[in-house]
Amino acid sequence: MEYRKLQITGKSTFVISIPKEWIKRNNLRKGDILQIEEVGNALMIRIGKDRGREEKIEIKDEDKMALSRLLITKYIQGYDTIDFVSNKFIEQEKKNYLKRISNFLIGMEPFGETHNEIVFKMLMQEGIDLISTIDRMYDMSFSSLRNIIRAIKNSDGINENFLRSIIEMDDEIDKFYFLVLRQLSSKYGADVTAWVQIVKSIERLSDHIENIASLLLKGEKIEYSRHYESLIMLYGQVMLALRSQNPKIAEEVLSGVEKFRIEERKSLEKSLKKYDDNKRSILINESLRRIGEYISDIAEGVINMH
């Protein structure tokens, strides 16, 4: 928390300085419009909507996954034009992957490309309010839940196309999830959505630690594997990234979690063979996998702050 002293200029104009880091983080400059809203005895300052926000991203040695995370981050942060440029040729594989990811970002469309540049623009008028977006997400997920329960009930006659439609519905829900984060960022500031993601991930990660403890208390068995200890290192590393606000460390965590996932799949296959008569042991593997995913979510939250 920072404190600012109220100043007065002229005879009746009160002014207060704004933190420089907030100005830099939101790519603001002299002459930009800010919205000020009175909320009880507090004032909320938001970026004005008189101009589209633009961001230029210089591609160096990032892989396609890192670039896609940057595209998602800048979308969530409310940028209307996202311009990827390089001082050399951009591989077509990276361009194609970015275009595929843009399909998950409602309103964000490819807007031209050259050998060393690809541009995305927000083409949707953002008149949809937050609750309407969440209502739409709920309607789709409720429909999927109802249909999957019915499919389980009538397991003898499961239709493959029907199940694929449920899987595809999750992609549509993901699109609205990113739109909700963008709307929250626009209303409360980009950091809010990242902090919500981080806190939620820590809470859910702890739930899975409790779940493992409960299963072990019931006498469940799982063969120890040294790669489990990488979770300790990755969890510590992601908090270092958060405390230092270092997105590079967060990227390293994401790579580390991906390696953990590969090893975890091997452990799961081993458990399936060795503990075929003890299905609960597989639940321990599942919770360890989920812990890795929540560490990954925290890392993405750190990246979303920049």
Give me 119's structure tokens.
Answer: 């541009």
| pLDDT tens-digit readout, 273-301 | 665 555 556 778 888 889 999 999 999 99
Mean local confidence (pLDDT), 152-161:
67
Assign domain 190-306 to its CATH architecture: Up-down Bundle (1.20)
| pLDDT tens-digit readout, 188-212 | 777 787 888 898 899 989 998 988 8
Report whether 130 contacts 183 (CB < 8 A). Answer: yes
101 or 25: whose pLDDT is higher?
Answer: 101
Q: In this predicted structure, what is the pLDDT of residue 152?
A: 66
Element of type H or E holding 8 = strand 7-9
SS3 for 24-90 is HHCCCCCCCCEEEEEECCEEEEEECCCCCCEEEEECCCCCHHHHHHHHHHHHHCCCCEEEEECCCCC
Q: What percent of the chain has pLDDT over 70?
A: 86
Q: What percent of the chain has pLDDT over 90?
A: 35
Q: Cα–Cα–Cα angle for 28, 31, 32, nearest 5°?
A: 45
| pLDDT tens-digit readout, 18-66 | 887 777 777 676 667 777 777 667 777 776 654 568 899 999 889 999 9
Q: In this predicted structure, what is the pLDDT of residue 18?
A: 83
pTM of the model: 0.66
Mean local confidence (pLDDT), 76-80:
89
Domain 54-122 sits in CATH at: 3.30.110.140
Mean local confidence (pLDDT), 298-306:
87
Mean pLDDT of the residues in the chain: 83
